[in-house]
């Protein structure tokens, strides 16, 4: 934004002189290219002892918005001290430019409208509602692709399924085993202190058995897999969205759900129940060790009572839960990966959401299962 730009390439720098006390003469080109030091010089020449500062613009050659902004800032400081400013011999284009810039600078910035608490709750509720329908749509799309390829075994990507079973199942054995083992120790240790008071030491077998097989093993395994494998699914697919690999797959005729989602769902449905059984074994083993050390129950006595008192239904209930948990974790992880918006920050955000939502839904479903099984006397 400039006025009366000269044709020559060499521009006279902006300059300020003082003709007499309180009178400043501006000369040269007050533009972004030639303003070096002009603002500081202008501030130094302004005499604080005069009531009116006269600014002579008769020698100005060119001026742009940068020069006007520097002048406006200095004029504002002068007016704030109670002094007035009089412009002398300014050309009409420069006055119009000064007036336009001053209006824009003094105009207050528009404030975004403040949302009420009720409005925020409404927007969050609407977003959650839309997200729920999007998730149901994704589940339906996965079911449609599954029914389409189910009659054709040759179209199943067994290599991808086996690879995901290794990553989500076999590689997770150490952390699952250690966690379940320590959890079994904790359950037996906390229960032994109370049972000892009533002389009911042997009941620690039922405590460890039912707690681990029905509740803790499937739940803790699902939570660990949600944080380990569910987040990996979201991060992998989200990164492929960012790098446009998903678009490339669609371009060459490969269905992303067929290639990426279904193998992960099938692999996790196979791996999570097996991990749950492994967690049952290690958890009960940890409880058995603690019962031996704290309550004096021998391993043989523990196993005999475990066999007679813990029914097969407890094991089957835990395994049945794990099938549902596996499907939920895999679907939510893949779904959040596809919702990535195209930058690295979005990958991290969707990965976090996949873990939080998976764990939240797993806990909710576990509570629902507990109520249903209680009503059915299972």
Mean pLDDT over 44-50 rounds to: 62
The C-alpha angle with vertex 53 and arms to 48 and 38, in degrees rounded to 5, equals 85
pLDDT at 8: 45
Q: What is the pLDDT of residue 198?
A: 76
Total-model pTM: 0.68
Instruction: Tell whether the model's pLDDT for residue 132 goes beyond 70.
Output: yes
The span from the CA of 184 to the CA of 32, in Å, is 74
Count Cα atoms within 13 angstroms, Cβ side, for 132: 7
Q: Is 314 left (phi over 0), alpha (psi -120 to 50) or beta?
A: alpha
Q: What is the average per-residue pLDDT within 363-371?
A: 90
pLDDT greater at residue 149 or residue 49: 149
| 3-class secondary structure, 50 | coil
Among 89-98, 165-174, 294-303, 313-322, the minimum mean pLDDT is found in 89-98
Average model confidence (pLDDT) across the chain = 81
As a whole-number percent, the residues of the chain with pLDDT over 70 amount to 89
Q: What percent of the chain has pLDDT over 90?
A: 17
Length of the chain, in residues: 378
Render pLDDT for 233-253 as a digit per residue (tens, 0 to 9).
988 888 888 888 888 888 887
Q: What is the pLDDT of residue 6?
A: 45
Which of the two residues, 95 and 287, has the higher pLDDT score?
A: 287
Q: Cβ distance 173 to 228 under 8 Å?
A: no
Structure tokens at 28: 């040269």
The Cα–Cα gap between 224 and 272 comes to: 10
Q: Which domains does the chain have, with CATH numbers?
A: 2-106 (3.30.750.24), 138-375 (no CATH)
- Sign for the CA dihedral angle at 123, 124, 126, 131 comes to positive
Helices first, then strands: H and E counts in the chain: 15, 5
Q: What is the pLDDT of residue 224?
A: 93
In 3-state terms, what secondary structure has residue 340?
coil
pLDDT at 107: 63
Please give the pLDDT value at position 2: 45
Q: Which residues pair with 87 in a beta bridge?
A: 55
The answer to whether 69 and 1 are in contact (CB under 8 A) is no
């Amino acid at each position: 934004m400039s006025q009366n730009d000269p044709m020559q390439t060499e521009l006279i720098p902006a300059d300020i002189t003082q003709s007499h006390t309180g009178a400043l003469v501006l000369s040269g080109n007050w533009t972004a290219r030639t303003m070096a030091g002009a603002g500081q010089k202008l501030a130094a020449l302004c005499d604080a002892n005069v009531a009116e500062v006269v600014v002579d613009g008769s020698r100005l050659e060119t001026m742009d918005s940068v020069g006007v902004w520097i002048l406006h800032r200095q004029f504002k400081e002068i007016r704030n001290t109670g002094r007035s400013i009089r412009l002398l011999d300014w050309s009409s284009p420069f006055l119009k430019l000064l007036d336009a810039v001053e209006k824009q600078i003094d105009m207050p910035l528009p404030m975004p409208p403040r949302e009420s608490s009720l409005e925020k709750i409404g927007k969050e509720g609407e977003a959650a509602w839309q997200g729920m329908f999007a998730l149901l749509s994704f589940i339906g799309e996965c079911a449609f692709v599954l029914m389409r390829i189910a009659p054709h075994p040759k179209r199943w990507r067994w290599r991808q399924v086996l690879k995901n079973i290794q990553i989500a199942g076999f590689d997770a054995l150490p952390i699952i085993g250690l966690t379940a083992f320590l959890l079994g120790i904790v359950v037996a240790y906390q229960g032994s202190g109370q049972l000892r008071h009533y002389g009911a030491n042997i009941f620690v077998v039922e405590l460890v058995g039912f707690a681990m097989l029905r509740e803790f093993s499937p739940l803790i395994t699902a939570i660990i897999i949600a944080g380990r494998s569910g987040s990996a699914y979201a991060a992998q697919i989200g990164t492929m969205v960012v790098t446009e690999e998903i678009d490339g797959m669609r371009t060459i005729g490969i269905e992303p759900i067929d290639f990426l989602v279904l193998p992960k769902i099938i692999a996790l449905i196979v791996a999570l129940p097996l991990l749950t059984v492994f967690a049952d074994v290690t958890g009960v083993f940890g409880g058995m060790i603690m019962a031996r050390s704290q309550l004096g129950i021998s391993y043989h006595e523990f196993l005999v009572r475990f066999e007679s008192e813990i029914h097969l239904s407890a094991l089957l209930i835990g395994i049945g839960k794990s099938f549902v948990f596996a499907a939920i974790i895999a679907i939510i992880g893949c779904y959040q990966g596809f919702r990535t918006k195209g930058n690295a920050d979005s990958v991290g955000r969707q990965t976090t959401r996949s873990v939080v939502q998976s764990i939240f839904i797993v806990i909710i479903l576990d509570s629902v299962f507990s109520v249903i099984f209680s009503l059915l006397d299972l």
